[in-house]
Structures are given as structure tokens and as C-alpha cells.
Chain A
Amino acid sequence: EDQVTQSPEALRLQEGESSSLNCSYTVSGLRGLFWYRQDPGKGPEFLFTLYSAGEEKEKERLKATLTKKESFLHITAPKPEDSATYLCAAPLGNTPLVFGKGTRLSVIA
């Protein structure tokens, strides 16, 4: 069954402590892997799209990578303002974006 799974569910980091979030997928014929950030009470904010294994994209302290089975969102030297829920998603069949349950990131000063 095609699906998107994220881990860990929650992550607590000290400011400056780098880490990675995982998104594993079982999708035949991947048509893109999407990362979003969601702050409480707001809509998801688009971060990155990755289309092929080996692809990497960066934005400030965030870098997204993609393999044939999973994607990682690396956070380098995070700051408290990076605290949010990070969501990954992939198209499945006709459904444009099927989301994982997200990783709640807390960065403590």
C-alpha cells in the first residue's frame, strides 16, 4: 500500500544542535516529494520539492535530500524560530498530496 511515514513524531533540540527528520515513502513511480512547515493556527508553508534520488535543496538552515526510499530534512544549528511541525507529502494515484503525520520540532534557547 502506498504511504508516507514520518519520524520521529516529536523532536526537542537545544539551539545550535543539528539533527535530521525522516520521511519514508512506499510509492511506486514517485512524482515528487514535498516538504512543508506548519506553525500553530496557520496553513502549511511550502519549503521544497524533490523529484529524483540524489537531489538536494537548501534554504537557510534547512537542507532536504532524497533517496529511493526516504527523504531527510536536515536542520543545521537550529534557532527557536525553527520550532514548528514539519510535514512531508507525496502524490498517490490521483490524490495530489498525501501527507505524513508530521514531526513536531521544538528548539530550546
Chain B
Amino acid sequence: QSVLTQPPSASGTPGQRVTISCSGSSSNIGSNYVYWYQQLPGTAPKLLIYRNNQRPSGVPDRFSGSKSGTSVSLAISGLRSEDEADYYCAAWDDSLSGRLFGGGTKLTVL
């Protein structure tokens, strides 16, 4: 059971907007930056969002991150078939003095 809680699955149709949530606590999401990673099958994770809502160069603006209190969300608009992947949130936890990952959400494009 991950300290950062994500829904195990999400789905949407092409063109739709999908949101993936990640819930934590005051010692992690509540007091530190959150990051989102996309992992395509058989590949290493790729950084999608850093510092809550910033996109690295090359990441389409269809991907956006937001934070409210001890929860964060990743939104994907204009869903495409190539967005089908696992998505992970991550944050530092001050109580554990360690980096946490969420359990991951498998996104299916129907």
C-alpha cells in the first residue's frame, strides 16, 4: 500500500480529457513539490510534470498538473492512443526522509 494513493486505473476515449488523482499527507504532498512520470510499456519512466505544474521541454501542453492541499491531479486533454501508459506521482516525505512514489495508474485509451 503506497503512502501516495492513486486510482489503479483510468480510461477515456480519443479527444477526451482525463484526470488522474494522487492523494497524500502534510508530510509529503502538503509540504513538498510533486512530480508526475509516464511509463510506456517496457520502457523507463519519463518525467512529465515537475514542481507541481511545470512541464519539461518537449512535453506537450496537453499535460498539466495541479495541487490543492495534500492532493494533486494530472490532467490530459485531447487524449491520444499514444497516451496509453502507466502514470506515477512522486514526492519527498519529510517524516520518512525519503522519496515516495504513488502506486501508479494505468491509463487505457478506449
A and B form one complex = no
